[in-house]
Amino acid sequence: MPNNKVATKIIFGNWKMNPLTLKEAEKLFSLVAKNVSQIKNTDKKMEIVICPPFIYLEALSKIRTSKIKLGAQDAFPGDVGAFTGEVSGEMLSGLGAKYVILGHSEKRAGGETNNEVNKKIKSALAAGLRPVLCMGEGVRDPEHNYFNFVKTELEECLNGLNKNLISKVIIAYEPIWAISSTQNRKDATPADCLEMVIFIRKILSDKFRDVAGGVRIVYGGSVNEKDAGDFLQKGGVDGLLVGKASLDAKKFVEIIKICATLNK
């Protein structure tokens, strides 16, 4: 496998359907921005992206920070049209979003298919957004069928993408069994993560050859300030997709600090 792996680490905060009010959203964002501005090594070597609910994007884009980018949590394929309730990548791009989370397990739980995620990825790329493709198995069965599940998910979601486009996609490995909102969830270990990252890298390299090493892979699943360093150091990933802990400014900033320190 060619070793042209990008060095820039990336930390995402996925706020999901939080917080309840715009005022709280502005307060949380401003607090993170203020604290991050004091952390060294967050400029060139790492990216920080906060993905709030759609309706907060515009207001948050007006809060001055050179270190935090904005992302959305979904984008409908296409630009405009008769699609009630939907928001397109073009619209999000116009609001200042640079990234978009696609195929999150909480969306897939509502019936979203790999084919739909594939269309969303292509459309988001056309709108100039960087898609964050969420994927991962629901269970780790003793027969290891979860590897086949992940392979199919990855191949179907990336179907038809060419070498130029793949390097713009971020893969977020989020085993559903480790996500904080999953009932009876279990902790994933950096070793669980590393095993899957190696597997994903092999699939990418079979499909995209020399450019595959440049695709960033991040881990998400109850990451907190206590285990972030371990996942970054031993999980084989280029960053983290943080859910619950990103709603706590102190915890999220600590995770960013850990990443910046490791990046020195």
Give the footprint of ligand 13P on this chain (CB under 6 A): 14, 104, 174, 179-180, 220-223, 241-244
Which among 106, 174, 225, 254 is annotated as catalytic? 174
Q: Which residues are CB-neighbours of 78 under 8 A, at least 6 positions away?
A: 88, 123
Give min distance, CB of 2 to ligand 13P, in A.
29
Give min distance, CB of 57 to ligand 13P, in A.
17
Phi, psi of 115 (to 5 degrees): -65, -40
User: Which residue is nearest to ligand 13P, using beta carbons?
Assistant: 243
Q: Which residues are CB-neighbours of 195 under 8 A, at least 6 positions away?
A: none
Which among 47, 90, 104, 137 is annotated as catalytic? 104
Give the three-state DSSP class for 224: coil
Give min distance, CB of 165 to ligand 13P, in A.
22
Q: Is residue 174 annotated as part of the catalytic site, yes or no?
A: yes
Nearer to ligand 13P, 60 or 212 (CB): 60
Nearer to ligand 13P, 104 or 119 (CB): 104
Give min distance, CB of 127 to ligand 13P, in A.
21
C-alpha distance from residue 154 to each of 27, 40, 47, 172, 196 (Å): 37, 35, 24, 11, 12
Nearer to ligand 13P, 132 or 211 (CB): 132
Six token digits for residue 10: 């990336």
Nearer to ligand 13P, 81 or 110 (CB): 110
Of 23, 29, 28, 16, give the one whose Cα is nearest residue 61: 29
104-132 core/surface letters (b: 16 or more CB in 10 A; e: else): bbbbbeeebebebbbbbbbbbbebebbbb
Provide the annotated active-site residues: 104, 174
